[in-house]
Amino acid sequence: MTLTNSVSLREYEDRAGRIIFHIRGVRTPVIITEGPTDAFILESMIDRKRILDVAGRVNVLNLSEKMLVLGESRFVSVFDRDFCTDHYREDGPYLPYDANDLESMLVEMGLLGDLLRVKGQEEKIKKHGGIDVVLGKLKDCVVPVSRLRRRNEAARWGLDFDSADLTKFITQTSLELEIDRYCSSLYNDRIRNGDGNHPSLQQIKQAAKESDEQLHYRGKDLLSAASVALRNYIGSLNKAQADVDGLIDSLYMAGKHALGSSDWADRLSARLEGRAA
């Protein structure tokens, strides 16, 4: 790496300092993002040496603020929105993914629809009104989960959504979410593994059902519903063939090739150029 000055790496003891040191080495603005998956997809658009993953959304935002305080602005921060209510300067180096996260942005680009056409059965898809109607059904299915995620974030409930496999609470024949049973599972896990400061089961159920607020879905939640749909509703795959992780990987591979031609990619390129000075 060619350096623009003689400053020793030892003088950059904190992460922000090391990133600044890296920027001076590559002599061009970099992208700071959440993890290796983001880097894998973004590297189709930009040299991998200019992409730094820092293990999570919180780290992206905290490091970005610290770097600005240190006087370094030659970077663009890319991250998920994740139902969070924190704020960042719209005129700063911040470029969240469209929709709620990387996966939902790729879905909104039409990539999940293409994937379901390939893995599903055409006659079943037609029976249920076509791929757009099916996608609408999937989004409706996960609305209660989106409401819960937003309330959990805002109220600091501490619910562990990973403890309840969403695919086990969606009926294969109708793609309906069994809301009460799902809420009970989240509540029971919170009781077993949390402290005494937790929401009641009634509060959780109410949060899932009562709000009419339009929230964007989490991409991986939608892919869980899609996995269920491919077993019966629009296909006849077995559980292994419709594995959620497999669908996510397929979405990433398609996204790696498609993202570069998106409006979001154009905004990213413009933002990088604007921070080159």
Q: What is the DSSP string of 128-150?
A: TT-HHHHHHHHHHHHHHHHHHHH
The pLDDT value recorded for residue 211 is: 72
| Structural domain boundaries in the chain | 9-99+262-274, 110-257
Residue range 8-52, pLDDT digits in tens: 333 334 888 888 888 888 889 999 999 999 999 999 999 989 999
Residue range 77-129, pLDDT digits in tens: 999 998 886 667 666 799 999 999 999 999 999 999 999 999 999 999 999 99
Q: What is the DSSP string of 227-255?
A: HHHTTTTS----TTTT-HHHHHHHHHHHH
The pLDDT value recorded for residue 193 is: 84
pTM of the predicted structure, to 2 decimals: 0.90
Q: Kind and range of the H or E element at 170? A: none
d(Cα 217, Cα 94) in Å, to the nearest integer?
A: 21
- Report residue 113 CA to chain centroid gap: 18
Q: Which residues make Cβ contacts (< 8 Å) with residue 185, sequence separation at least 6?
A: 163, 164, 169
Q: What is the DSSP letter of 27?
A: T
Here the tokens at position 207 are 């949060």
